[in-house]
Amino acid sequence: MIKAARKDFDIHKIAESGQCFRFFPNGENAFVLVAFSRILHIAMQEDAVCLDCTEKEFSELWETYFDLSRDYADIRRAVAPEDAFLRAAVQYGEGMRILAQDPWETLISFIISQRKSIPAIKGAIELLCKSCGETLRDGESVFYAFPTAEKVAALSMEELRACALGYRAKYVQGAATMVAEGKIDLDALRTYDDDALLQTLLTIPGVGSKVANCVMLFAYHRLSGFPRDVWINRIIEEEYGGAFPLSRYKGFEGVIQQYMFYYGRSRARGITETA
């Protein structure tokens, strides 16, 4: 069990931020995360974050996954003083962090995400994991690891469609086949610069600008990634008259984007008054 000092870390905001779809509520201020074929119990206390892993796992995996070495307060301080919307967004989102997820899982998750709501995305991903992911037991509970590219590529179109993928089934099959056959090496892409990474991701079926930017940001941790979805476009239109001053936040555009997304979406659901 690791008990780390809690600084700028809110597991609710991270779990509900729409960048990862495999956090499961596990009591008050606690979640179970399924990632990298492992189960991680996370509990948040007033001044500490508890993770049920070894020191080795923490330093080799989860510290990076949760981006714990970065000072997000620095980023929030960069917000233009006159930008009332963004100031409110970063204040509301304090505790949010940009995750460094597995590229394969992130790629497929965001191919599935297109024109789906977050609850629907979660449902489809669970069906896919259950259909061919490794069974992971956690006491009385059973979870399923995110399936490998080989497992997904081996599914028939009928089996994929049974995972509520709709028209995205052919994209998932195409992407899985590319990865399984080695036509694209997602691990090797870590060495690419931002533009080469983006251009390579765009060659994958079902991956356009938005999905590619999500994968860059939420898997490869390229903070310059700026996914523009319906929420971000709506915010830019309504709050900035169609022109967001993106160049002001060069190098960490993606973090700003995530604060905007989380605040905008929460506000639309009428739950920001709790902030």
Asked whether the beta carbons of 146 and 133 are under 8 A apart, the reply is yes
Helix residue ranges, H only, the chain: 11-15, 55-57, 63-65, 72-77, 84-92, 103-113, 118-132, 149-153, 157-161, 169-180, 194-201, 209-218, 230-240, 253-268
The yes-or-no answer on residue 210 being catalytic is yes
Amino acid at 213: N
Comparing CA positions, the residue from 140, 131, 138, 123 lying closest to residue 39 is 138
Q: How far is the CB of 89 from DNA (least distance, A)?
A: 12
Q: How far apart are the first and last CA of the chain?
A: 30
Q: What distance in Å separates the CA atoms of residue 215 and residue 110, rounded to the nearest whole number?
A: 7
Q: How far is the CB of 92 from DNA (least distance, A)?
A: 15
Closer CB to DNA, residue 53 or residue 214? Answer: 214
Q: How far is the CB of 227 from DNA (least distance, A)?
A: 4
Binding site for DNA (CB under 7 A): 17-19, 110, 113-121, 123-124, 161, 164, 166-167, 171, 205-212, 214, 227-232, 234, 257-258, 261, 265
Which of 56, 116, 122, 210 is an active site residue? 210
Look at the chain and count its residues. Answer: 275
Closer CB to DNA, residue 59 or residue 167? Answer: 167
Q: How far is the CB of 204 from DNA (least distance, A)?
A: 7
- 62: DSSP letter: I
Closer CB to DNA, residue 46 or residue 158? Answer: 158
Closer CB to DNA, residue 40 or residue 163? Answer: 163
The residues annotated as belonging to the active site are 210
